[in-house]
Amino acid sequence: WPVLISVICSPPQNYPLYIRSIPTENELKFHYTVHTSLDVVDEKISAMGKALVDQRELYLGLLYPTEDYKVYGYVTNSKVKFVMVVDSSNTALRDNEIRSMFRKLHNSYTDIMCNPFYNPGDRIHSRAFDSMVNSMMMQVC
Amino acid sequence: KMSVPDYMQCAEDHQTLLVVVQPIGIVPEESFFRIYKRISAVSQVSVRDSQRVLYIRYRHHYPPENNEWGDFQTHRKVVGLITITDCSSAKDWPQTFEKFHLQKEMYGSTLYDSRLFVFGLQGEIAEQPRTDVAFYPSYDECESVEKRIEDFIESLFIVLESKRLDRATDKSGDKIPLLCVPFEKKDFVGLDTDSRHYKKRCQGRMRKHVGDLCLQAGMLQDSLVHYHMAVELLRSVNDFLWLGAALEGLCSASVIYHYPGGTGGKVGSRRAQGGSLSAEAGNRHRPGRDRILIFFLPSAHFLSCFVLGALTSNGINADTSAEIGRAKNCLSPEDIIDKYKEAISYYGKYKNAGVIELEACVKAVRVLAIQKRSMEASEFLQNAVYINLRQLSEEEKIQRYSILSELYERIGFHRKSAFFKRIAAMQCAAPSIPEPGWRACYKLLLETLPGYSLSLDPKDFSKGTHRGWAAVQMRLLHELVYASRRMGNPALCVRHLSFLLQTMLDFLSDQEKKDVTQSLESYTAKCPGTMEFITLPDGLKLPPVPFTKLPIVRSVKLLNLPTSLRPHKMKSLLGQNVSTKSPFIYSPIIAHSRGEERSKKIDFQWVQGDVCEVQLMVYNPMPFELRVENMGLLTTGVEFESLPAALSLPAESGLYPVTLVGVPQTTGQITVNGYHTSVFGVFSDCLLDNLPGVKTNGCTVEVIPALPRLQISTSLPRSAHTLQPSSGDEISTNVSVQLYNGETQQLIIKLENIGTEPLEKLEVTAKTVNTKEKLYGDFLSWKLEDTLSQFPLKPGKIATFTVNIKVKLDFSCQENLLQDLSDDGISVSGLPLSSPFRQVVKPRVETKPINPQESSKVGDFSHVKTLEAILNFKYSGGPGHVEGYYRNLSLGLHVEVEPSVFFTRVSTLPATSTRQCHLLLDVFNSTEHELTISARNNEDLILHAGECQR
């Protein structure tokens, strides 16, 4: 089952810090999917802006379904976004599983940020992060 | 089955009357649209004697199969037809009129009224007053068009009112016809028309229809009531399609009530404009001969008098009386959306109602956009995307994607909007299209730029971190390149490709870098990239893309002239300058003016007419060799002749120094503000102000008037020794000479003026440096007068200057000589060799032959002493001299002095007195010349070359 995991920089740059997909061919299509999903993320964040920022849920839920994929989103307090694209027919994935995957992703990202040699905004090149994403993808596929 | 969706529809359109305006016969397109524009300006008409306003929707094209859905939603029904025709002779008139009738038949069943506008016909026929035909001599003389249209609309209104009243009154009657949509017709054949169910269905549908008519007639509240009733009736019989329509009617009426500004965006403004126009037109045209028409009102007018009378006397129909509170009938903004959802879900049950469903989605999205509920709007749009109509034509696909894009834009989903617009663009040039519309494709692609956070100005990308999603940005740029190439605009193609290379360099893989530059080079072979703005037909200007990253420049340093060419200011004048500037030696205020580092002046000067240099540290970020051609300086202030250079930088080179040169042609301040290059056939002007992270030592320097240039050549060989002068001056030429002690040699210096200015003044000074040696007599001596007599020296002329070099040095007390002496084994007790007594320059004249072995030993150059001196030539001339500048040229003189004689043996002979003795010295002449040794109280001794005497 195709799957994609990406980490996207906070605005205004909004470029992907990390993007991994299976299969790797036709990745550009995934790029478009994730890129357009940011509209929904922005909208959801701005809608939440009215609510208390501290208490808000980081998990944004299903951003939008397409014919073949489901796009889920998660946003940290620093507006770094995690977007995951999974196959629509993959019924094994419930909201709870997705949510916990995002948590893992967030924790791993936090580890990267703790690295004094990492500049926020740089693309992520981390073996630990890679292996975490790998294991996550194995679990989903 | 209705097949052509109107993506522009909005909820307010439900209250409009559809009028089709069409040409018949041959009408010039331009003329037709001029008239069409004037007609469609009359889109809003207040009906006389009532508060109601009628809205008209004009179309110049309307598919008749859509008209068949007119009973389902009356705003889809063509109720008016206006035809425009060009008829110049009365002979053609009957034929023209026949065509008009044929055209009417096309929409015949639904038309309330029609008009024919004839242009060009004059004479008898034109003079006959007719209600359905208006004659105008030409397209320019038709002032009364608007008035005619208003009258026409009034006539439409009368018919509408009569229909409305007609339908509204025969309520619950026994013979309510069943309204149906085209595809239902066959389903109802043989249905029991007497059943309760059937009757209810008829009632419900009719109720809904009346609601539509009320809405069109400007009776919003009444329509709401009718719709509510229709919903109840239709729900009870599960007539879903019509229930959907009733719900949608309810939504439309509520939207009109809640949002008087309109939901269509553009439509709102058009409406306002139309209103004002029609009012104005009315004011203008009411008086005058147009009045005549009023006397010949159509028969419908009589009817209208009757209808209006009926209205005012009977009041509003009983059913729609105020028994139900008005506000209650209107849906709340939230309910509107819920009802839209419900309606759409009912439409969705019918495959043939795809267009209706799609349009309902579009209408709902427009409402949601006004309500700023983007998330829900996107759900509606998502649904709309998946509504399958049928095999769409390419043009329809483009239209569909475009409208999706527009709607996404409206709800603030810029990326999604750009996504669909891009698909629409691609569709314009789909391979299945026989004539791909690359122009349209390109235009649409340009419109997607903001959605991808792209602009076409490279300055937006020169500072800070990259913005936006590079992968999709690159894709778009590639598409722009391709589209512009297919459009046959190579300049545009080069511009986009340059932009891609400049702004996306960091994201391109090595292979992509190669590919992009290769295609760039192939395009620029035909059309080189320039620094000109490219203006597109629609007025968009594409700024030039200078390649500031090919190569990347890290620092720019203006270099001083070589020492020999550096101008100096006459001391006295300099002093004055300083004193006039400020009374303070130091002031902290000066520190504040240091802010502008770029413009800061440099403390050296350049000279007019002399080659000046600027050093750039550059590096090549490409994975292959980068050829930079025509690299030169960009300057302002002084006329500057840049001498461009070509360079070739190795792949991913480190910092690489490049020196750019040029010649200032005039005097004053010169500012180096950038450089120009030609890389891959693209000419770039890179301004330093736009380059981040470039280090400079200041870019402004003063150019002083021209000075002559002096070149020195001497009779002596050049020296490998370079003098390190104390004063910081550099020596331009070094010459060396070997002399034996005591020798005198003439140094002939040729002074050549290689500049362009006459050499007027010359001063010569000499300075001996680094000498611990004791020097006897004048080392250097000259007579300047001889040279000065040849002045002023014209350019290209040579003067000579003679310097006498004379060396007299003390060679005594040299270590190795001492060594020789001690080796000799002769005791010289009581007379230490180091005693000052022995330190005589010209030793005593006792000579003694020496054995050849020893002579080879002493032939060593270890005894050589050096003398160094600098000859300074201060010279000036031309305009620079007038300004008080001079140049300094130094000639380094390196003189190696060898001792001419050696004392190879020292011995003593007892003299006649015991208190004295004879000192015997073996003197060796190491020169190739004959020499004379003179000592005090002794006659001169002549030594021949290599001779040794005692």
Q: Is B509 on the interface with A (CB under 8 A)?
A: no
Give dist(CA A36, CA B418) in Å, integer: 9
Instruction: Tell me, yes or no, whether B370 and B471 share the same domain.
Output: yes
Q: Exposed e or buried b for every residue in B638-670, given b needs 16+ CB within 10 A?
A: bebebebbebebeeebeeeebebbbbbeebeeb
**DSSP at B458:** G
Closest CA to B644 of B665, B629, B622: B629
Give dist(CA B254, CA B262) in Å, integer: 12
Beta strands B113-119 and B133-136 are parallel
Answer yes or no: do A13 and B467 touch at CB < 8 A.
yes
Instruction: Tell me, yes or no, whether B537 and B648 share the same domain.
Output: no
The enclosing H or E element of B229 equals helix B220-236
The pLDDT of residue B671 is above 70? yes
Domain of B120, CATH number, reads: 3.40.50.300
Instruction: Tell me, yes or no, whether B662 and B736 share the same domain.
Output: no
In this prediction, residue B722 carries a pLDDT of 61
Do the Cβ atoms of B911 and B812 come closer than 8 Å?
A: no
The share of chain B scoring above pLDDT 70, in percent, equals 75
Do the Cβ atoms of B855 and B795 come closer than 8 Å?
A: no
- Once rounded to an integer, what is the mean pLDDT over residues B835-839? 35
B839 part of a folded domain: no
Give dist(CA B332, CA B283) in Å, integer: 39
Closest CA to B869 of B811, B803, B799: B803
pTM of the predicted structure, to 2 decimals:
0.73
The pLDDT of residue B573 is above 70? no
In this prediction, residue B687 carries a pLDDT of 86
Instruction: Tell me, yes or no, whether B431 and B460 share the same domain.
Output: yes
Phi, psi of B928 (to 5 degrees): -95, 5
Q: Is A115 on the interface with B (CB under 8 A)?
A: no
Answer yes or no: do B468 and A65 touch at CB < 8 A.
no
B357 part of a folded domain: yes
Chain A residues with CB-CB distance to B467 below 8 A: 12-15
Residue of chain A with shortest Cα separation from B461: A13
Chain A residues with CB-CB distance to B460 below 8 A: none
Give dist(CA B365, CA B375) in Å, integer: 10
Give dist(CA B370, CA B333) in Å, integer: 10
The pLDDT of residue B289 is above 60? no
Report the alpha-carbon angle B691-B693-B695, nearest 5: 100
The overall average pLDDT reported for chain B is 77
Amino acid at residue number B896: E
Chain A residues with CB-CB distance to B419 below 8 A: 32, 35-36
Instruction: Tell me, yes or no, whether B699 and B716 share the same domain.
Output: no
Which whole-number Å values give the CA distances from B274 to B42, B57, B467, B922, in the listed order?
Answer: 6, 11, 43, 128
Question: Which is more confident, B169 or B311?
Answer: B169
Ordered DSSP codes for A96-133: HHHHHHHHHHHHHHHHHHH-TTPPTTSPP--HHHHHHH
Strand partners, B781: B804
Sequence-distant (≥ 6) Cβ neighbours of residue B179 within 8 angstroms: B71, B72, B202, B205, B206, B209
Instruction: Tell me, yes or no, whether B612 and B645 share the same domain.
Output: yes
Q: Exposed e or buried b for every residue in B98-134, given b needs 16+ CB within 10 A?
A: ebbeebbeebeebbbbbbbbbbbbeeebbeeeebebb
In this prediction, residue B283 carries a pLDDT of 35
Instruction: Tell me, yes or no, whether B671 and B660 share the same domain.
Output: yes
Give dist(CA B71, CA B423) in Å, integer: 36
Question: Which is more confident, B689 or B490?
Answer: B490
In this prediction, residue B732 carries a pLDDT of 67
Give dist(CA B758, CA B770) in Å, integer: 35
**Tokens linked to B255:** 């939207």
In this prediction, residue B271 carries a pLDDT of 37
Amino acid at residue number B754: I
Q: Is B471 on the interface with A (CB under 8 A)?
A: yes
Q: Where are the alpha helices (DSSP H) in B527-670?
A: 571-581, 589-592
Domain of B755, CATH number, reads: 2.60.40.10
Report the alpha-carbon angle B453-B457-B463, nearest 5: 75
- The number of distinct structural domains making up chain B is 5
Phi, psi of B160 (to 5 degrees): -60, -45
Closest CA to B78 of B148, B17, B4: B17
Give the CA-trace dihedral at B134, B135, B141, B144, to 10 degrees.
Answer: -20
Q: Is A120 on the interface with B (CB under 8 A)?
A: no
What are the residue ranges spanned by the domains of chain A?
2-137
Give dist(CA B74, CA B82) in Å, integer: 19
B296 part of a folded domain: no
The pLDDT of residue B292 is above 50? no
Instruction: Tell me, yes or no, whether B523 and B650 share the same domain.
Output: no
For domain A2-137, the CATH architecture is 2-Layer Sandwich (3.30)
Domain end point (choices B681, B704, B727) = B704
B172 part of a folded domain: no
In this prediction, residue B144 carries a pLDDT of 84
Instruction: Tell me, yes or no, whether B718 and B785 share the same domain.
Output: yes
SS3 A66: coil
Residues in chain A, total: 141
Answer yes or no: do B414 and A67 touch at CB < 8 A.
no
Q: How many pairs of residues across A and B have Cβ atoms under 8 Å apart?
A: 58
The pLDDT of residue B805 is above 60? yes
Q: Please write the tens of the pLDDT for every residue from B409-429.
A: 988 899 999 999 999 998 888
Return per-residue pLDDT of chain A as tens, 141 residues: 677 777 777 777 788 888 888 877 778 888 888 888 888 888 888 877 665 555 667 888 888 877 788 889 998 888 888 998 888 887 777 888 888 889 989 999 999 889 888 888 888 888 889 998 888 888 876
Q: How many Cα atoms occupy the beta-carbon half-sphere of B318 within 13 Å?
A: 3
Answer yes or no: do B416 and A36 touch at CB < 8 A.
yes
Q: Distance between alpha carbon B927 and the CA centroid of its chain, in Å?
A: 77
Q: Is A16 on the interface with B (CB under 8 A)?
A: yes
B46 part of a folded domain: yes
SS3 B525: helix
Q: Distance between alpha carbon A87 and the CA centroid of its chain, in Å?
A: 15
- Which of these ranges, B503-517, B534-548, B804-818, B893-907, has the smallest mean pLDDT? B804-818
B692 part of a folded domain: yes
Sequence-distant (≥ 6) Cβ neighbours of residue A3 within 8 angstroms: A21, A22, A84, A85, A86, A87, A137, A140, A141
Give dist(CA B501, CA B553) in Å, integer: 16
Do the Cβ atoms of A37 and A64 come closer than 8 Å?
A: yes
In this prediction, residue B262 carries a pLDDT of 80
Do the Cβ atoms of B513 and B622 come closer than 8 Å?
A: yes
B125 part of a folded domain: yes
Mutate to test the interface with B, among A39, A71, A88, A122 (most CBs of B within 10 A): A39
Complex prediction ipTM: 0.90
In this prediction, residue A49 carries a pLDDT of 67
Residue range(s) defining the domain that contains residue B26: 11-163
> Measured on CA atoms in the order B467, B469, B471, B474, is the torsion positive or negative?
negative
Q: How many Cα atoms occupy the beta-carbon half-sphere of B293 within 13 Å?
A: 20
B672, with CB counted inside 10 A (0-12, 13-18, 19+), is buried
Residue of chain B with shortest Cα separation from A35: B415
Instruction: Tell me, yes or no, whether B491 and B514 share the same domain.
Output: yes
Answer yes or no: do A14 and B470 touch at CB < 8 A.
no
- Once rounded to an integer, what is the mean pLDDT over residues B261-289? 42
Q: Please write the tens of the pLDDT for every residue from B50-83.
A: 778 899 999 988 888 888 888 899 999 999 999 9
Give dist(CA B290, CA B281) in Å, integer: 12
Instruction: Tell me, yes or no, whether B873 and B774 share the same domain.
Output: yes
**Tokens linked to B867:** 């003398």
The pLDDT of residue B341 is above 90? yes
Domain end point (choices B654, B677, B704) = B704
B286 part of a folded domain: no
Q: Is A26 on the interface with B (CB under 8 A)?
A: no
Instruction: Tell me, yes or no, whether B566 and B686 share the same domain.
Output: yes
Q: Please write the tens of the pLDDT for every residue from B132-185.
A: 888 888 888 888 888 888 889 988 998 998 888 887 776 555 577 778 887 877
Beta strands B733-740 and B885-898 are parallel
Give dist(CA B822, CA B824) in Å, integer: 5
SS3 B560: coil
In this prediction, residue B391 carries a pLDDT of 75
In this prediction, residue B279 carries a pLDDT of 34
Cβ atoms within 10 A of the Cβ of A85, count?
23
- Which of these ranges, B559-563, B715-719, B750-754, has the smallest mean pLDDT? B715-719
Which of B 360-399 lie inside 8 A of A, CB atoms? 374-375, 378, 382, 386
- Which of these ranges, B264-273, B386-395, B643-652, has the smallest mean pLDDT? B264-273
The enclosing H or E element of B798 equals strand B798-806
Closest CA to B889 of B730, B724, B735: B730
In this prediction, residue B481 carries a pLDDT of 92
Give dist(CA B251, CA B245) in Å, integer: 10
Q: Is A38 on the interface with B (CB under 8 A)?
A: yes
- Once rounded to an integer, what is the mean pLDDT over residues B260-278? 49
Assign B87 a pLDDT band (cuts: 50, 70, 90).
Answer: confident
